[in-house]
Structure 1
Amino acid sequence: MKVMMPLVGDILSEHFGRAQRFVIYEIENGVVKDKKFYDAIEHFEGAFPAWAKSQGVDLVILCGVGPRAIEFFNSYSIDVISGVAPQEHSKIIQDYLAGTLIYTNKSVCEH
């Protein structure tokens, strides 16, 4: 399983469209096997979901995201967890794997 998060520095970006970079964790049997960082690509409608699909991402963990972006991710069979508070990505993945990640799953975005 591959899990992607948009980042500003090492912190979950409040809006994935404004991310400086992305981290993709590779998870096997509930354990992190690998993680890779990627510079953000140009932002336009549908760009990040399409890029995530090309990287084989199964799940994105986000803070703020609009309903249209969620539709794009879902159209590529990528699950979305949203409404996660901005914090260090390593803490988020740790909480996700432990089943203790706090999130609202609400579409939160200014557009």
Structure 2
Amino acid sequence: MRIALAVDDNMITQHFGYCEYFVVYEVEDKQIKGSEILKNPPHQKGQLPKYLKENNIDVVITGNMGQMAVNLMANLGIECIRGVKGNLVDVINAYVEGTLESKDTVCNQHKHHGEH
């Protein structure tokens, strides 16, 4: 399973589409087998879910994302865990331990390109 954490400065970002990068963990049998950095491409409305699917991502962990991204992820079969805060290491460990919970929140504010 490939889990992508949306990250800024080793912390889970609060705005999915504008994260600096994704840290992608390979998890198998509740063990982390490896990780890699996946650069976030330039923001284009609706393209990020497709990009993640092309990179074989099964789960995305983020602070928040808009309804359009939530819907696109669901349509592509990517699980979204939202409402998460904290250091990426603590968050992936909580996920592996089965204690990370998703909050059913959706971002209603849309940042425009260049307003990071």
Instruction: Specify if TM > 0.5.
Output: yes
Q: Residue 32 of structure 1 aligns to a residue in which SS?
A: strand
Alignment pair present for 1:95 and 2:59: no
TM-score norm. by structure 2 comes to 0.88
CA shift at 1:45, angstroms? 1.4
Q: Distance in 2 between matches of 1:50 and 1:79?
A: 13
Q: Is the 8 A contact 2:81 2:101 kept in 1?
A: no
Q: Distance in 2 between matches of 1:29 and 1:107?
A: 30
Aligned to 1:107: 106
Q: Residue 5 of structure 1 aligns to a residue in which SS?
A: strand
Q: How many residues align?
A: 110
Q: Distance in 1 between matches of 2:104 and 2:40?
A: 23
Unaligned runs of 5+ in 2: 111-116
Unaligned runs of 5+ in 1: none
CA shift at 1:109, angstroms? 3.8
Percent identity for Structure 1 against Structure 2: 26
TM-score norm. by structure 1 comes to 0.92
Q: Which consecutive segments of 4 or more residues in structure 1 shift more than 4 A?
A: none
Residues 30-68 of structure 1 deviation map (CA, whole Å, 9 limit, x = unaligned): 100011012220111122101110110111111111111
Q: Distance in 2 between matches of 1:105 and 1:92?
A: 17
Aligned to 1:83: 83
Residue 24 of structure 1 aligns with an amino acid whose one-letter code is V
